[in-house]
Structure 1
Amino acid sequence: MNREHQRFERQLNRLGRSLPGMDGPMRGLTAPGRGWLRAPMALLFIFGGFLGFLPVLGFWMIPVGIALLAIDIPGIRPIVARFLIRLQVSWRDWRARLPRPFRR
């Protein structure tokens, strides 16, 4: 496993842990041999993310769907890993600027 692949795996695990209730399903979807399930789920996540203005769905679904696609498309793994890192840094910076009562 090369360095880029390890970086991608770390970011994918971190994404699963950071989304409430998604750690178990993410582990199940990322298991080897689940490509037949991963691709349709990734497309559903992406499509649902574009409908994020509706209740229940959210814009958070887009990066999850793209990350699931990257598992089976090795050429986009480094791009997705960098994107996930930037997303996490931006989220952390945004939350740091919130007033104290709104932080966890």
Structure 2
Amino acid sequence: MDATGHETVTARDWDDRVARLTEKLPARLARALDWLREPSRRIIRIVAALLFIFGGVFSILPVLGLWMLPVGLALLSEDVPGLKVPLERSARWIGATWARVTASFKR
């Protein structure tokens, strides 16, 4: 926690979250993601990220969806480290909000 009482979020927190999520994926998909995250795949990763983000913008189309936007941002965060902290904060906010909503339905 910092002086304002907020929890400190670092880029390492985002990297840890991605690692935990990767462990939950099926082996084939995890290998593909690990392959894509290798530093030598930078151009492929950036192109894929931009295509996912572009697809997320057109979420009204059948196959494309809003799910593509965070996937694209997560891929892009490998090459734009400044995205990691905002993505981690967003993930924490979504998790906390989801917990509050589900708790309210259990009452």
TM over 0.5: yes
1:74 aligns to what? 81
Matched, 1:55 2:62: yes
Tell me how far apart the structure 2 counterparts of residues 13 and 23 of structure 1 sit (CA, whole Å): 10
2:53 aligns to what? 46
Q: Which runs of 4+ in 1 moved over 4 A?
A: 14-22, 91-94
Change beyond 3 A, Cα 1:62–1:75:
same
* TM-score (normalizing by structure 1): 0.68
Mapping 1:29-44, distance limit 5 Å = 29-44=36-51
1:8 aligns to what? 14
**In percent, how many aligned pairs have the same letter?**
35
Deviation sequence 1:10-49 (CA, Å, 0-9, x none):
2223455678885443322222221111111010000111
Count of aligned pairs between the two proteins: 97
Q: CA RMSD in A?
A: 3.1
* TM-score (normalizing by structure 2): 0.67
- Report the AA paired with residue 13 of structure 2: R
Q: Shift of the alpha carbon at 1:93?
A: 4.7
Q: Which moved more, 1:20-29 or 1:76-85?
A: 20-29
1:27 aligns to what? 34
- Report the AA paired with residue 93 of structure 2: R
Structure 1's unaligned 5+ residue stretches are none
